Amino acid sequence: MNNQLPMPNSPSLPIAATGITQVDEAISSLNNLDNLDVTDHADIYSDIHQKLSSALTEITN
């Protein structure tokens, strides 16, 4: 018996494009999270955070 509940907001649906190239490139890796072991998620999130921070820095400078 599987007692696991479905996860809300699961990344199993494609992430919509924003139209901002740097942001779209950064968040595109979210589309692959379902295929990765959960132990790899932190590295993916850190990479996305770094890329989004860089994109924001470029906008504000």
Q: What is the pTM of this model?
A: 0.69
Question: Considering its fold, how many domains does the chain have in total?
Answer: 1
- Determine, yes or no, domain membership for 11: no
Q: Please state, for a pLDDT cut of 90, what percent of the chain lies above it.
A: 36
Residues 43-52 have pLDDT tens digits of 999 999 999 9
Token pair of 15 as six digits: 């992430």
Query: Is residue 44, in this structure, part of any structural domain at all?
Result: yes
| b/e code 30-59 from CB counts within 10 Å (16+ = b) | eeebeeeeeeeeeeeeeebeebeeebeeee
User: What digits encode the pLDDT tens for the residues 16-30?
Assistant: 889 989 999 999 888
pLDDT at 16: 84
User: pLDDT at position 32, please?
Assistant: 84
Which backbone phi and psi does 11 adopt, to 5 degrees?
Answer: -75, 15
Q: Which residues constitute the domain of residue 26? A: 21-60
Residue 13 counted as domain residue: no
